[in-house]
Structure 1
Amino acid sequence: MNEELKKIFEDDQHDLRTLPPDRIERDRERRKRVKEILENGGAEEGIDYIHAAIVFQHGEALEDWWQAYLLSVKAVQLGFKPKWLAAVALDRWLIRQGKLLKYGNQVIPFGKVYRIPKIDPKTTDAEREDWDIPTLAELLSFTNLRGFMKYDVVSTLAIDNLRIKVIKLERHPVHHPLPTGRPCGKTEDMHIIYENTYGWQWIEDESGSFLLGWLLIPDVPEIAHAIADEGVISIEKVIMNNQSCIQVNETEHTTIYFKASNGIWAVTGVDDNAIFEKVMWISSSS
């Protein structure tokens, strides 16, 4: 094992936990030094390439995440197990381009709730298993996520065939993209509707802050409602349009989940009346 690569990796993990104010600059210096070590033939064993890959995984450009993927694949070729880092690195490279995830072990925030974006439907659970990634159902319930932070289950509620698990993350994820979209229409009160490449739609206020968003989630047995902000959280059953729904109440946001013929809808926003109107419209149209 290359001891310097190990030390750089350990420093990277320490900064990820403590988040020093100069973390980005320290990350850049680490990547620069790792590149020098690799160019000089300093990596020989699988674990060396894993240490190097994780440092690049915490980069800030597409070439950083692609390099993390190549390095982790090299580690697998040298016999390193488990293999999930390669899958996670590839998904991080894809998510930063707004593309469908290959495996699904990445998150982005949407109305302060962390969600797993749309996954390539051609990827099977057998493929995920081969790369040590959880099944689709496990991913969407945040069960056995690879390389993910600790969290506490705050509460769960099940109605009919819908089950929501509210989890509190130990901190906000550091390395994730913010949702970006393009205008795709306007509401009746002339708010611009934005949509990203995953089909998630939302509106913002005049300052660009999230007001209301809605997205469709695959129909799986359990959905994780993952948050990191402090505050009072409650979960309850509500009836809307003669349909049973699950409502998660937070200090600044409310989310309503309900089933439709094409999956599970989640509507999140800061104004309850706007949320209820959107739920009624979607459920009537589905």
Structure 2
Amino acid sequence: MAKLFAEDQAIRENVPHAKMQDMAFVEKMWADDAARRTRTRALLESGQLSTADDYYAAAFVFQHGEQPQDYLLAHSLALAAVARGKAKASWIAAATLDRYLQNIGQKQVYGTQWRWPNDALPSREPYDRQLIPDSLRTALGVPTLAKQDKNLAEMQAEQAATK
């Protein structure tokens, strides 16, 4: 599982936003993601995932899925990692719930997901900023609303400067 996780993360490290507009790059990434999900699902179904690190890694693999069911499974895997003692898995638990909610047409609640609608400036919308207090965000390793707003302003300024 560690190898699958390393592969999943490596393709996403230091990738500029412009590279994500290259459809050949994106299609290869999606195909590789699908293969990793297939391998991870086989490990999960055969009972070969059992440690907090296994579940944590598997959560990231399924977070990069294509369907709401992938994100919901990722959320459950993250919860299993937390239950087995991996505290830092709480962030991926929040992120997977946000991604699931967005993909079923609901507002995210933690603010972990970014969108670039029609190549416009980045946004976290739709986002229910009121449901989750900053104290809970902090407990789960998610930035506070003020930090999220600062990060958003920086990303938007950076992207606007490159246009």
TM range (shorter): 0.7 to 0.9
The within-5 A match list for 1:95-244 is: 95-110=102-117, 112-117=120-125, 118-142=127-151, 165-167=153-155, 225=156, 227-228=158-159, 233=161
Quote the Cα distance in structure 1 between the aligned partners of 2:159 and 2:51.
37
Tell me the equivalent position of 2:47. Answer: 41
**Alignment match of 2:38 (pick from 32, 35, 56):** 32
| TM-score, length basis structure 2 | 0.82
- Contact 1:57 1:68 (8 Å CA) reproduced: yes
1:224-270 deviation line (CA, Å, top 9, x unaligned): x25547xxx3xxxxxxxxxxxxxxxx64xxxxxxxxxxxxxxxxxxx
Q: 1:227 to 1:92 in 2, by over 3 A?
A: farther
Quote the Cα distance in structure 2 between the aligned partners of 1:126 and 1:57.
24
**Alignment match of 1:87 (pick from 83, 86, 94):** 94
The percentage of aligned residue pairs carrying the same residue is 30
| TM-score, length basis structure 1 | 0.48
Quote the Cα distance in structure 2 between the aligned partners of 1:87 and 1:78.
17
Tell me the equivalent position of 2:21. Answer: none
Structure ranking higher in strand proportion: 1
Tell me the equivalent position of 1:76. Answer: 82
Structure ranking higher in helix proportion: 2
Higher gyration radius (CA)? 1
Q: 1:136 to 1:36 in 2, by over 3 A?
A: same
- Contact 1:50 1:71 (8 Å CA) reproduced: yes
What is the number of residues matched between the two proteins?
A: 150
1:8-39 deviation line (CA, Å, top 9, x unaligned): 11111222347475222221111011011011
1:11 aligned onto 2:22:
no
Q: 1:62 to 1:8 in 2, by over 3 A?
A: same
Residue ranges of structure 1 left out of the alignment (5+ in a row): 144-164, 168-224, 234-249, 252-286
Task: Write the letter of the residue equivalent to 1:123.
Answer: I
**Offset of residue 134 of structure 1:** 1.2
Q: Secondary structure at the match of 2:130?
A: coil
Quote the Cα distance in structure 2 between the aligned partners of 1:119 and 1:77.
27
**Cα RMSD (Å):** 2.1
Quote the Cα distance in structure 2 between the aligned partners of 1:226 and 1:39.
45
- Contact 1:72 1:85 (8 Å CA) reproduced: yes
Quote the Cα distance in structure 2 between the aligned partners of 1:136 and 1:21.
33
Task: Write the letter of the residue equivalent to 1:24.
Answer: W
Residue ranges of structure 2 left out of the alignment (5+ in a row): 16-24
Task: Write the letter of the residue equivalent to 1:31.
Answer: R
**Offset of residue 127 of structure 1:** 1.3
